[in-house]
């Protein structure tokens, strides 16, 4: 397995294929294609096995509504592990390697809390951050400071790129 921090435009078809075969809809594939085309992506990392992309994680900038900050806050997602490789700990391995490489003050995500808590994420509400008015979505909204105090003094609704809200 090879961890890769330098995915390029040529990797687009591999990313698209992985996302379309991993997720039940094409939302994530369309989202990533849009972010990549518009060069909004802050970072992308991949996990390769014998020339095939078997893991992928993306980061894009987010903001906090009505809050002006110079801190770099990134939204993590999507994260995908090829179906044939799931259950082997590769998602955690990819995420841990990726978090060492990404340049950010803090990272937020909407996801499976049990998985993300194991690598240091906490409920975003602990930091005064929300995703929406929906209680279930906020319960799955997580945050991690990349250095202690990175989110101190910041609170409010986190806003992602508009494509995250598209149908």
- pTM of the shown model: 0.94
- Structural domains in the chain plus CATH codes: 2-165 (3.40.630.30)
Question: What are the pLDDT tens digits along the chain (167 aa)?
Answer: 999 999 999 999 999 999 999 999 999 999 999 999 999 999 999 999 999 999 999 999 999 999 999 999 999 999 999 999 999 999 999 999 999 999 999 999 999 999 999 999 999 999 999 999 999 999 999 999 999 999 999 999 999 998 898 76
Torsion sign (Cα): 52, 55, 59, 60: positive
Strand order in the sheet with 106-110: 2-4, 43-49, 52-61, 73-81, 106-110, 141-145, 122-123
- Please tell me the distance from the alpha carbon of residue 110 to that of residue 142, in angstroms, as a whole number: 6
- What would the 3-class secondary structure string for 33-51 be? HHHHHCCCCCEEEEEEECC
How many CB atoms lie under 10 A from the CB of residue 122?
14
Which of these, 21, 60, 53, lies nearest to 38 by C-alpha position? Answer: 60
Give CA torsion, residues 153, 146, 39, 76, to 10 deg. Answer: -90
């Amino acid at each position: 397995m090879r961890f890769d921090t330098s995915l390029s435009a040529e990797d687009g078809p591999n990313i698209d294929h992985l996302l379309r075969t991993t997720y039940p809809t094409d939302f994530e594939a369309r989202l990533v294609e849009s972010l990549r085309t518009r060069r909004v992506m802050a970072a992308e990392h991949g996990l390769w096995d014998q020339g095939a992309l078997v893991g992928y994680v993306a980061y894009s900038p987010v903001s906090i509504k009505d809050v002006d900050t110079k801190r770099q806050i990134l939204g993590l997602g999507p994260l995908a592990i090829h179906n044939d490789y799931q259950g082997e700990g590769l998602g955690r391995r990819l995420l841990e390697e990726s978090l060492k490489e990404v340049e950010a003050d803090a990272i937020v995500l909407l996801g499976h809390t049990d998985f993300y808590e194991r690598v240091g994420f906490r409920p975003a509400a602990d930091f005064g951050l929300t995703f929406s008015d929906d209680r279930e979505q906020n319960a799955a909204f997580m945050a991690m400071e990349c250095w202690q105090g990175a989110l101190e003094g910041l609170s409010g609704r986190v806003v992602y790129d508009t494509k995250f809200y598209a149908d």
